[in-house]
Amino acid sequence: MPELPEVETVANGVNDRVRGQRIESVWLSSKPQTFKTPAAEMEQDLAGCRIIQVRRVGKHIVFDLENGDARSGVLLQWIVHLGMTGRLLVCSPEVPLPAHTHAVLGLSSGRELRFVDPRRFGRLAIFRMENESVEPSHQSTAQGFQGPGQEPLSIALADFQKLFRGRHLPIKSALLNQKLLHGVGNIYADESLFRAGIRPKRIAGRLRKAELERLHVSIQTVLREAIKLGGSSVSDYVDADGVRGFFQLQHRVYMRTGQPCLVCGTPIRKIVLGGRSTHYCPHCQR
């Protein structure tokens, strides 16, 4: 299940392979729920565009596109959300199309960019923004696609603390809420809470200042470490090369139910919180 580190890894890998190329052909499957933008419209929009760059915003992969019509002043973005089982692959057209392929972009390099998603929790969309050249004295303030939440790797401590003020829900549920914080999913929520020594069901608004400080640090540490290792390969996540990440070897609680805590030896406990399996050490996390 791709979270921030996996999405970052995929986005970087895809960026290296497709940056600067033109989209010469577009094929989309007929599974309407995959397309937040109607498929016909998306096809029209993507065809002929040049890919300026590919980057991560939250758990979304954003393709910044130039549509070749400079006068239109429109910057298009292709937004890819991998959901649980989505993959982006760059390969030769000769490689047989895997089952559950939902999008194939033919590139000027002669290779194809493919979106494959068996479980269809992934989503594709076009984001359109006006080019903000209206204020020539200022740098463009155009951000393009932005989720409603904050980026965990750059949020300041004070803003981080503010996110949870007055919230009456378990801290883990708050961490998973993308409207608050981007990119933290089930694995990294559990791992961060373990490293911060906080029980997942503690009420977010009742955490002490010192605990939020620890959590702020541990989220960033865990995410950065995971990015360095290429993400976690838990079920079927692979990067753009089809290579698996290695962060799962660093998991201290996730999927370690019953195994001894690596700090104190107490068996790791598993509960269900907000419909998500949740792992923690009952001794180390209070």
Partner DNA sequence: CATGTTTCCTGACAGC
Partner DNA sequence: TGCTGTCAGGAAACAT
Q: Is 5 a catalytic residue?
A: no
Task: State the angle between helix axes of 209-228 and 186-196 in degrees (0 to 180), rounded to the nearest 10.
Answer: 130
Q: Is 50 a catalytic residue?
A: no
52 binds DNA (CB under 7 A): no
99 binds DNA (CB under 7 A): yes
The structure tokens 């290779």 sit at: 111
DSSP for 79-143?
Answer: EEE-TTT-EEEEE-TTSPPPTTEEEEEEETTS-EEEEE-TT---EEEEEEEE---S-TTS-----
167 binds DNA (CB under 7 A): yes
Nearest approach, Cβ of 68 to DNA (angstroms)? 30
3 binds DNA (CB under 7 A): yes
Q: Which one of residues 12, 37, 77, 173 is an interface residue with DNA (CB under 7 A)?
A: 173
Euclidean distance between CA atoms 218 and 195, whole angstroms: 6
Active-site residue among 2, 5, 152, 200? 2
Q: Is 3 a catalytic residue?
A: yes
120 binds DNA (CB under 7 A): yes
55 binds DNA (CB under 7 A): no
Q: Which one of residues 68, 119, 157, 265 is an interface residue with DNA (CB under 7 A)?
A: 119
Euclidean distance between CA atoms 75 and 64, whole angstroms: 7
Q: Is 123 annotated as a binding residue?
A: no
Task: Supply the DSSP symbol for 159.
Answer: H
CA-nearest of 36, 55, 128, 88 to 241 is 88
Euclidean distance between CA atoms 245 and 174, whole angstroms: 26
107 binds DNA (CB under 7 A): no
Nearest approach, Cβ of 79 to DNA (angstroms)? 10
At position 218, the amino acid (one-letter code) is S
Q: Is 59 a catalytic residue?
A: yes
169 binds DNA (CB under 7 A): yes
CA-nearest of 81, 88, 87, 89 to 122 is 81
Task: Supply the DSSP symbol for 178.
Answer: T
Interface with DNA in residues 198-217 (CB under 7 A)? 205
Active-site residue among 17, 56, 59, 256? 59
# of chain residues touching DNA (CB under 7 A): 31
The residues that are catalytic are 2-3, 59, 276
Q: Please report, as ranges, the residues that interact with DNA according to CB under 7 A.
A: 1, 3, 33, 58-59, 81, 83-85, 99-100, 118-121, 166-170, 173, 176, 178, 185-186, 205, 272, 274-277
Residues of the binding site for DNA: 100, 119, 167
